[in-house]
Amino acid sequence: MGDISFTPDDSLYKYRDSLSENYTPETIVGRDSEISQYHSALQPVINGETPNNTFLYGKTGVGKTAVTRYLLEQLANDADQFSVDLTVIQLNCEGLNSSYQVAVNLVNRIRPAESHISKTGHPQYEVYDFLWNAFDEIGGTILLVLDEVDNIGDDDSILYQIPRARSNGNISEAKVGIIGISNDLAFRENLSAKVRSSLCEKSISFPPYGATELQAVLKQRADVAFHDDAFDNEVVALCAAFGAQDAGDARKALDLLRGAGDIARAENADRITENHVREARDELEREELMDGIANLADHQQLVLYALTTIEAEGETPARTQTVFQRYEELCEIAGMSCRTNRRVRDFLSELYALSIVESSQRNDGLSGGQYRDHILNHEIRLVVNGMSDLIDRVGIYQSILSTIEEADNVMISSTGDPSTTPN
Ligand SMILES: Nc1ncnc2c1ncn2[C@@H]1O[C@H](COP(=O)(O)OP(=O)(O)OP(=O)(O)O)[C@@H](O)[C@H]1O
Ligand SMILES: [Mg+2]
């Protein structure tokens, strides 16, 4: 073993942690319209009026949490200046799957450690009573941020109990407003009318970022993270362009920039190049896809395998029925009993929801009927890598073997006896 000593390396990075999730940027860029709506929704607080209940929604990584932290910090400073008695309580609801659990967490957040209540065993009304008392004890204006609030699922009574607590006479001292945040678009749709009317007095939608906005976000962060001569605008623009393609998610775009920086550093490069970005993207895409595929059950993977073999033949988009037939063939080869046509349709929908497969609804002009067709959302080679365990068991399909050989221009050795290689 050679030299394994570690020496600090600050050649590219000035402050790498600024690209991580936990870093709070000093300013928010590219969200002017959302910030302006949010600002008006919070205005009553500084006027000493009852705060609006506000609901923020938008896909993952679009700045909901970052903008909230940014605005609430400003609000807290200004409240100080204008002597408004404001308390902000931020709770991430991850892992809290009922109103009861949220209420217990809030009570314990407010109470000192020695009077924390236990997480189970209290009747629901009692926990709410504790909560009302805790709110009244704080008094003034209380803003309650419930981030990732969709975790509470259907058990959402707290979302109308709190807004009504004052009119129901449960609290008298405090004015409480809720800010609910969610990236689950169905959650908002499925809220009962009762909850929606109280929680969504103001609703603010955060759309995915476009390339220009992402570029601004990344540039600001790259200036903090890297030395000036370690990157250029092309690198940032490329990360932003990929980010815009990948659902306009700033978190992913930042991961990509950090990935590129790490690859450049590992290579002892003087600066980050577009090639480093492309390599980092491949790596991230591979990891994401691997995770996605590894979590699929056997039959889901077989359905994906079936579509992959068809894609390798150049026959995609392929109809559900075509995928089903190839799946039946693979089941037979694998000695597994087939799931029904209907189940296979569900599997395809799930693969679509995971962005592993792209599916479209088509109209059949002649018969007037409708059908869906499917195509892989990633390179064949990546998908095949993700399914390597399954393929070892089932055997590598001829069309896939040829595609990979063509792409690599190298022979890959098929494991197992060639006579068991299907087709
Ligand atoms: N407009 C912006 N300016 C600067 N940084 C931003 C901006 N938008 C997002 N970011 C950064 O991108 C990352 C993801 O943003 P954020 O955590 O706010 O996403 P989110 O919408 O809350 O996503 P999720 O629904 O997954 O919680 C964070 O590191 C955040 O600092
Ligand atoms: Mg968030």
The pLDDT, as a whole number, for residue 409 is 59
Mutational pocket test of ligand 1: of 62, 70, 71, the residue with most ligand atoms within 8 Å of the beta carbon? 62
91 beta partners:
146
| Residue 66 annotated as part of some ligand binding site | yes
Task: Tell me if 56 CB under 6 Å of ligand 1.
Answer: no
Task: Please check the confidence at residue 411 and state whether its pLDDT lies above 70.
Answer: no
Q: Which of 130, 196, 128, 167 is nearest to 50 (CA)?
A: 167
What tokens does 219 get? 């540039």
Burial class (CB in 10 A: 0-12, 13-18, 19+), 35: middle
Residue type for position 376: L
The pLDDT, as a whole number, for residue 145 is 98
Q: State the closest ligand 1 atom to the C-alpha of 20, by its place in the atom list counted from 1.
A: 29
What does the pLDDT look like over 301-325, one tens digit per residue? 999 999 999 999 999 999 999 999 9
Q: Does domain 209-292 have CATH number 1.10.8.60?
A: yes
The strand ranges marked E within 95-245 are 140-147, 174-182, 202-205
- From 3.40.80.10, 2.20.25.90, 3.40.50.300, 3.40.50.1820, which CATH number describes the 31-205 domain? 3.40.50.300
The pLDDT, as a whole number, for residue 286 is 84
Q: At 78, is the pLDDT very low, low, confident or very high (cuts 50, 70, 90)?
A: very high
Q: State the closest ligand 1 atom to the C-alpha of 30, by its place in the atom list counted from 1.
A: 1
Mean pLDDT computed over 407-419: 46
Mean pLDDT computed over 2-21: 86
Distance 375 CA to ligand 1 centre (A): 31
What does the pLDDT look like over 190-219, one tens digit per residue? 888 888 888 888 999 999 999 999 999 999
Q: What is the CA radius of gyration of the chain?
A: 27
Dihedral pair phi/psi, residue 53, rounded to 5°: -85, 130
Q: Provide the residue ranges of all domains of the chain, joining segments of one domain with +.
A: 31-205, 209-292, 296-420
Q: How far apart are CA 285 and CA 283, in angstroms?
A: 5
Distance 92 CA to ligand 2 centre (A): 9
Contacts of 325 (CB under 8 A, 6+ apart): none
Reported CATH class of domain 296-420? mainly alpha
The pLDDT, as a whole number, for residue 194 is 85
The pLDDT, as a whole number, for residue 291 is 87
Peptide linkage before 317 cis (omega within 30 of 0): yes
Task: Please check the confidence at residue 415 and state whether its pLDDT lies above 50.
Answer: no
What does the pLDDT look like over 318-344, one tens digit per residue? 999 999 999 999 999 999 999 999 999
Task: Tell me if 28 CB under 6 Å of ligand 1.
Answer: yes
Q: State the closest ligand 1 atom to the C-alpha of 69, by its place in the atom list counted from 1.
A: 18
Residue owning the nearest CA to atom 29 of ligand 1: 21
Residue owning the nearest CA to atom 16 of ligand 1: 63
Distance 37 CA to ligand 2 centre (A): 18
The pLDDT, as a whole number, for residue 88 is 97
What does the pLDDT look like over 259-286, one tens digit per residue? 999 999 999 999 999 999 999 998 998 8
Helix and strand numbers (H, E) in the chain are 17, 8
Distance 90 CA to ligand 2 centre (A): 12
Task: Please check the confidence at residue 1 and state whether its pLDDT lies above 90.
Answer: no
Residue 25: nearest ligand to its CA? Answer: 1
What is the DSSP code (8-state) at residue 356?
S
Residue found by looking up tokens 């995609």 in the block: 316
The pLDDT, as a whole number, for residue 420 is 42
Percent of the chain scoring above 70 in pLDDT: 95
What tokens does 123 get? 């009747």
Task: Tell me if 248 CB under 6 Å of ligand 1.
Answer: no
140 beta partners:
174
